[in-house]
């Protein structure tokens, strides 16, 4: 029988008796010291890659570059675009600042800090100054582009991004989804990389649907309104949250992943239907006194959203604690005839371009008369559904064409949508489902 030699680490050649643990492999061994060094190298490499990506994003995505990109897909809404561009750019700077802090602390010998006078560290601004996030809330009528802005930014960013719907959320313990399911979507967008998810961006749509049912606190449970708002507080503020990796309801035996929301930027949007009445009431009550900054002659009654303030959100049904965690408040302008006309044809993903591409796949060149486009816009304004109403009207006009031409034996090489053709199809179509209430 062959004599076996001493068992040593295949990497550092330490003997088994000189190490705490020696793990055996198929054709070698590795000690706990080498494992620790390898783990440290992997972490440093990952941190360096993350910092490089953030720095690259900072170099490329200046606020004006972000707005220019949004202009290619979203018509108008310059104020909202500026707010989002600044918020996203500052988010990248905050992530870069946080990464630098961690790398500085990680490379410092902790034993060397013991007994150090705290005043000696007062000059290290990077460790003293903590950049807090500024969550954003977008208020605008339906069809003005809130969700489109979020989706367009998601295409541009190099950080995990997810869009969550607040309508399905309920207070913990009731039928529906817990607020932690929002972070589950972010975690999935980050391919379950917790470090990447902790620097991501979340867009919470339909925030107005979780407003409490009355202005006064209810003596009964408001499980899909005020209860959800209270559950969202810890997410927006920044804390360690236990998230079920596959979503669904939490239960004690489930495996959880902890995510720190401190560096996650939250963008919220909602139509807040009827908030104009709250704004008008507030403006009327401030007609006399030091707070009267806007006279009746200066108030634009057709667009009251531009005067929105946090107290209007409180009157609508958001709790003050939630409003305080959404410090940046902006609005989206209602779409007029000119804006809707541009939305039809100008953006990269314009509705007319989509139909032209669909017919091009059939070998047919589709064209629209300007008068036909004006008719579509007039109907959209009549239904008061914003840009979303445009597609329903176009579908009504194009339905017969999209049904007959693909199966035609000799389809035409081109087809022109005239005013008379569009008007005739709209008369025969049942568009009552588009009529705004």
d(CA 181, CA 244): 8
Closest CA relative to residue 385, chosen from 141, 188, 172, 91? 141
Residue that has been written with the tokens 């600044």 in this structure: 86
Dist CA 378 CA 384 (whole Å): 10
Tokens 């087809």, residue located: 415
Residues 6+ apart with CB under 8 A from 288: none
Per DSSP, what are the bridge partners of residue 415?
Answer: 366
* d(C-alpha 98, C-alpha 127), whole Å: 9
Q: What does the DSSP 8-state code read for residue 12?
A: T
How far apart CA 209 and CA 232 sit, in angstroms, is 14
At residue 222, the pLDDT reads 66
Structure tokens at 76: 């108008």
Dist CA 221 CA 354 (whole Å): 47
Question: What's the pLDDT at 70?
Answer: 92
Instruction: Report the interhelical angle of 78-106 vs 32-60 (nearest 10°).
Output: 150
Order of all β-strands in the sheet with 136-139: 161-165, 201-205, 265-270, 136-139, 328-331
CA-based nearest residue to 29, from 47, 49, 11, 51: 11
Closest CA to 57 of 152, 199, 188, 194: 199
CA 348 and chain centroid, separation: 21
Q: What is the chain's pLDDT, residue by residue, as a tens digit (437 residues)? A: 444 667 888 888 888 888 888 888 888 888 888 888 887 777 666 555 555 555 555 555 789 989 999 999 999 899 999 999 999 888 888 877 776 655 443 444 434 334 444 444 444 444 567 778 889 999 998 888 898 898 888 888 778 899 998 888 887 767 778 888 899 999 999 898 898 898 888 999 999 888 876 655 555 666 678 888 888 998 898 888 888 877 666 666 678 889 999 889 999 999 898 898 889 888 875 444 455 455 555 777 778 888 999 999 999 989 999 999 999 999 998 888 999 999 999 998 899 999 999 999 989 999 999 999 999 999 988 888 788 889 989 999 999 999 988 888 888 899 999 999 999 998 887 665 555 44
SS (H, E, C) 96-150: HHHHHHHHHHHCCCHHHHCCCCHHHHCCCHHHHCCCCCCCEEEECCCCCCHHHHH
Tokens of 121: 């560290």
- Between CA 409 and CA 411 the distance in angstroms is 6
Q: Judging by DSSP bridges, how do beta strands 136-139 and 328-331 pair with one another?
A: parallel
DSSP helix/strand/coil, 22: strand
What was the pLDDT predicted at 433?
Answer: 53
In 3D, which of 328, 213, 312, 331 has the Cα closest to residue 266? 328
Spatial separation of the C-alpha atoms in residues 291 and 301, rounded to whole Å: 19
Neighbours of 355 (CB within 10 A): 20
Q: Are 335 and 343 in contact (CB under 8 A)?
A: yes
Instruction: Give the Cβ contact number of residue 32 at 10 Å.
Output: 14
Q: What is the pLDDT of residue 110?
A: 38
With vertex at residue 407, the alpha carbon angle to CA 403 and CA 411, rounded to the nearest 5 degrees, is 100
| 3-class SS letters over 327-395 | CEEEECCCCCHHHHHHHHHCCCCCHHHHHHHHHHCCCCEEEECHHHHHHHHHHHHHHCCCCHHHHHHHH
**pLDDT reported for residue 113:** 36
Residue 144 near residue 200 (C-beta atoms within 8 A): no
- What pTM, to 2 d.p., does this model score? 0.72
Q: Which of 363, 353, 351, 415 is nearest to 387 (CA)?
A: 351
């Amino acid at each position: 029988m062959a004599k076996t030699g001493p068992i040593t680490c295949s990497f550092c050649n330490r003997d088994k008796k000189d190490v705490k643990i020696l793990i055996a492999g198929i054709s070698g061994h590795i000690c706990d010291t080498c494992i620790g060094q390898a783990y440290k190298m992997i972490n440093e490499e990952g941190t360096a890659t993350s910092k490089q990506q953030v720095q690259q994003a900072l170099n490329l995505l200046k606020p004006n570059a972000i707005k220019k990109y949004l202009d290619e897909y979203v018509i108008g809404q310059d104020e909202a675009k500026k707010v989002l561009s600044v918020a996203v750019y500052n988010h990248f700077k905050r992530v870069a600042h946080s990464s630098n802090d961690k790398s500085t602390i990680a490379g410092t010998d902790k034993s060397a800090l013991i007994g150090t006078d705290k005043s000696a560290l007062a000059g290290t601004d990077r460790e003293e100054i903590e950049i807090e996030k500024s969550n954003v809330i977008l208020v605008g009528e339906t069809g003005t582009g809130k969700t489109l802005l979020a989706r367009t930014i998601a295409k541009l960013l190099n950080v995990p991004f997810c869009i969550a719907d607040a309508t399905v959320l309920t207070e913990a313990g009731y039928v529906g989804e817990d607020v932690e399911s929002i972070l589950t979507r972010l975690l999935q967008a980050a391919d379950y990389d917790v470090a990447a998810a902790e620097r991501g961006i979340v867009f919470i749509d339909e925030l107005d649907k979780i407003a409490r049912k009355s202005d006064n606190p209810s003596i009964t449970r408001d499980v899909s309104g005020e209860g959800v708002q209270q559950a969202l507080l810890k997410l927006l503020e920044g804390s360690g949250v236990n998230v079920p990796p596959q979503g669904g309801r939490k239960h004690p035996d489930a495996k959880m992943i902890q995510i720190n929301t401190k560096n996650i930027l939250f963008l919220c949007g909602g139509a807040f239907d009827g908030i104009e009445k709250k704004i008008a009431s507030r403006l009327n009550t401030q007609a006399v006194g030091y707070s009267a900054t806007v006279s009746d002659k200066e108030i634009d009654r057709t667009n009251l959203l531009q005067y929105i303030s946090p107290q209007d959100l409180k009157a609508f049904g958001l709790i003050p604690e939630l409003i305080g965690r959404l410090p940046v408040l902006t609005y989206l302008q209602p779409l007029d005839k000119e804006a809707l006309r541009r939305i039809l044809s100008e953006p990269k993903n314009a509705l007319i371009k989509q139909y032209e591409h669909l017919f091009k796949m059939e070998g047919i060149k589709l064209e629209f008369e300007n008068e036909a486009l004006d008719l579509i816009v007039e109907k959209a304004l009549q239904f008061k559904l914003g840009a979303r109403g445009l597609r329903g009207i176009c579908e009504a006009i194009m339905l017969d064409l999209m049904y007959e031409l693909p199966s035609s034996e000799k389809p035409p090489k081109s087809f022109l949508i005239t005013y008379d053709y569009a008007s005739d199809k709209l008369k025969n179509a049942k568009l009552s489902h588009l009529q705004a209430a």
